[in-house]
Amino acid sequence: MNGRTTMAVLAEQDSGSAARILGAARELVLRRGVKGLTVAEIAERAHVAKGTIYLHWSTREDLLVGLFGRDFLASLDELGAELTADPEVARPSRLLPLLIQSTVEHPFIRALQVEDDDLLGVLTQHPRSASLLENLGPAALMRIALPVWRKHHLARTDWTFDDQAYALQALIRGFVTISAEQRVLAHISVDDPIRVLAAAVTALLGPEEPGPGDISATADAALAELATRREALLESIGK
């Protein structure tokens, strides 16, 4: 025995009713938003008794925040798989576009990032929702990656860290907002926004000039951080 605690298990992994409840809640929230959504409605959609929901989650908010957390979990797993398959993904010009694309493709991460009150209602500002974004959102993961990029010659170091982080956060927020709201900018036509984003990252951070071992070290650091954050997330939403 090594003294480690057993890894948390998601409710749906050992309960068909929990899986149906989560599926029903996701469908209802995406269709009509959180406002006015009741546990009774979720139970009816999932074809379970109302009390069954409380066997897995203490409150409606626990269920819905857990639902949001599963989007973050899926995003972490997807990024981890990309990095494992190809360490070159750790380059800023590749990782940041992937991170933003993942944010846009996961509706609850996207909604939290752009503060979509129509979809999330009061849960947009709920402390646990805010904690998810603060610890696992694209800006949070970028701030973790930036020192590693600077160390391994993948980002310029003639800026202060805070100035660079601020500029990157502004870049991320702008691209996510435009993509999430499907805005069309006046008199501008772009056929490949991901290509434009990669070029913008390179323009902001400077040329990537890694030495021997820098890419693998950066990928290893990224995978270790993703694993740590994944475990913490499981502890917070697992059963």
For residue 56, the 8-state DSSP code is: H
Q: Is the predicted pLDDT of residue 72 greater than 60, yes or no?
A: yes
Mean model confidence pLDDT for the chain: 90
Q: How far is CA 74 from CA 52, 77, 107, in A?
A: 25, 5, 12
Backbone dihedral region of 95: left (phi > 0), alpha (psi from -120 to 50 degrees) or beta? alpha
Question: pLDDT tens digit string along 215-237?
Answer: 999 999 999 999 999 999 999 88
Question: pLDDT tens digit string along 161-175?
Answer: 999 999 999 999 888
The residue type found at 102 is S
Q: Is the predicted pLDDT of residue 5 greater than 70, yes or no?
A: no
Backbone dihedral region of 115: left (phi > 0), alpha (psi from -120 to 50 degrees) or beta? left
pTM for the full predicted model: 0.89
Q: How far apart are CA 129 and CA 220, in angstroms?
A: 28
- Token pair 């056929």 is at which residue? 191
Complete domains list, the chain, with CATH: 9-57 (1.10.10.60), 70-237 (no CATH)
Question: pLDDT tens digit string along 176-198?
Answer: 888 766 655 556 666 788 888 89
What per-residue confidence (pLDDT) applies to 185? 56
Instruction: Report whether 103 contacts 72 (CB < 8 A).
Output: no
Q: Residue 156 corresponds to which tokens in the numbers above?
A: 């310029």
